[in-house]
Amino acid sequence: MSTHGSLDPHAVLTVVDRRIFGGFVEHLGRHIYDGIHEPGHPSAGPDGFRRDVVDLVRELGVSTIRYPGGNFVSGYRWEDGVGPREERPRRLDLAWHSTETNEVGLHEFSDWLELVGSDLMLAVNLGTRGTQEALDLLEYANLDADTAWTRKRAEHGRPEPLGVRMWCLGNEMDGPWQLGHRNADDYGKLASRTAKAMRMMQPDLELVVCGSSGSGMPTFGSWERTVLEHTFEDVDFISCHSYYQERGGDAQEFLASGVDMARFIESVVAIADSVAATKRSDKRIMISFDEWNVWYLFDENGEQDDKPEEAGWPVAPRLLEDRYHALDAVVFGDLLITLLQHSDRVRSASLAQLVNVIAPIMTEPGGPAWRQTTFFPFSITSRLTGEQIVRVPLDGATVTSSRFGEIPAVNAVATVGEQGTSVFVVNRSVDEAATLRLDVSALIAEFGRDPRIVESHLLHDDDMYAANTLDDPERVGVGPLEDAVIRDGILEVPLPAVSWAALLLA
């Protein structure tokens, strides 16, 4: 089957905000302890952080990392994670039925971010705490003044402010599972009060208000409208969260996940702009898609699998350690394409999560770290994305989704920048190969010569359920697109069924 399109370097959608390649680290399972932090590991530095993991996170190319949760944050006392380690209390984490040792807190995590080259995005607890505690954390983290909190920061080894610019006003407050869950009216009022207070301390913050924790929530839509009616003047972003998994062995429906994400984004944008219209405002609320991934949360019986197997309150139990296969990586790559296609309004996104917990990177205590299949689309897209997003209109073959009807079999987006023109493309068909024929004559006219393919990557496996494991960590990888060519002004990209690809033209 064939899909045709064109690539015009002047059809610019937006300038890239690198925060779209953000990540997410939560105190959950083995993400921090035995993941990024394992003092006894052969690769660990004197700070206890595994340098093999640091290298992989740097290779992944994450820009901003959201911390410390997630559900965890709604019961978190940030003060527990600062000061001398030997004096830090052990606490119960009700979100994940675990024990938090607080060995890693704000300072240690900030040090780790310097190692991996990422910026900090902080979430405040609006579940069991409120405005005053958020102000205390902001003062401790960001203020350049002589106060009790800034003196404590200096005593704890950080005289200079952390300079955290982006802050989340709680997490998934629409969810009944969330500590301190509130209805939209009550949460909107609290978020507005907290945002106003934080801006009195530091006016130039970028603030994210909680949207729905998924488009399937019964209050989706009405939640966004009510919350924004309270907070419209106070915040810059509203959050979206969405996770996808194959259900009932229906791989074709799973491959339509990008369509669901696109409709979710477009619905939230429409609601936000409707609120702007009623307020007669030209302000545009942006989206922070600060939780997205493939996550096998529900088992075959539709039950959630999100509690530790160990009895009691274990420390760093094995939780949510999904093993990703080639099919997952193709869907994942399509989700990234979808985020880029909507990056005029999605100005920040956080892959949830990074290490061990529904993660592109896995580790074994005392052993190796390795790349899961989803690592490759993220690292390659992050590295090859240029400074501007370019629309790639396509026309061609379709596949059938039981939810969405006929959808494009091929989805693509492009970017232009100093290194060249990058094209990211996916074949959503579960059983048919496709060929993308992209007219690049506008590139020839722009630069006065034929472009050439200087780099190409294909993620595909004849066994779409093949995965990288501890025993076989390199079973699935990426290879070159051997048969991609530019001929008579047309870029031809052959795509096997269930495949993701990236090309750099220069």
Interval 195-246: pLDDT, tens: 999 999 999 999 999 999 999 999 999 999 999 999 999 999 999 999 999 9
The pairing of beta strand 2-6 with beta strand 434-439: parallel
Q: Are strands 22-24 and 64-67 parallel, antiparallel or unpaired?
A: parallel
Band of the pLDDT at 289, cuts 50, 70, 90? Answer: very high
Predicted structure pTM score = 0.97
* 388 strand-pairing partners: 15, 416
In this prediction, residues 330-342 reach a mean pLDDT of 98
Whether the Cβ atoms of residue 92 and residue 42 lie closer than 8 Å to each other: no
Cα dihedral: 285, 237, 23, 476 (round 10): -30
Domain 17-384, CATH:
3.20.20.80
Q: Provide mean pLDDT across the span 75-87.
A: 97
Distance CA 69, CA 319 (A): 15
146: confidence class by pLDDT, cuts 50, 70, 90: very high
Q: Taking the CB of residue 32, how many other CB atoms lie within 10 A of it?
A: 27
The confidence band for 119, taking pLDDT boundaries of 50, 70 and 90, is very high
> What's the pLDDT at 491?
97
Domain locations in the chain?
17-384, 394-505
Indicate if the pLDDT at residue 448 is higher than 80.
Answer: no
Known catalytic residues are 172, 291
Which CATH fold topology does 394-505 show?
A: Immunoglobulin-like (2.60.40)
| Residues contacting residue 196 through CB under 8 Å, at least 6 positions apart | 234
What is the per-residue pLDDT for 84?
97
Q: In this predicted structure, what is the pLDDT of residue 17?
A: 97
User: Which secondary-structure segment (H or E) carries 450?
Assistant: none
**pLDDT value for 283:** 98
Cα–Cα dist 21/133, whole Å: 29
Per-residue DSSP letter, 358: S
Q: Please tell me the predicted confidence (pLDDT) of residue 311.
A: 87
The one-letter code for the residue type at 43 is: S
Give the integer Cα–Cα distance in Å for 370 and 505.
30
Location of structure tokens 């106003």: 196
Residue 505 pLDDT: 97
Question: How many angstroms separate the CA atoms of 478 and 464, rounded?
Answer: 13
Dihedral, CA of residue 162, residue 167, residue 171 and residue 174, to nearest 10: 170
294-318 tens-digit pLDDT: 999 988 777 787 788 888 999 999 9
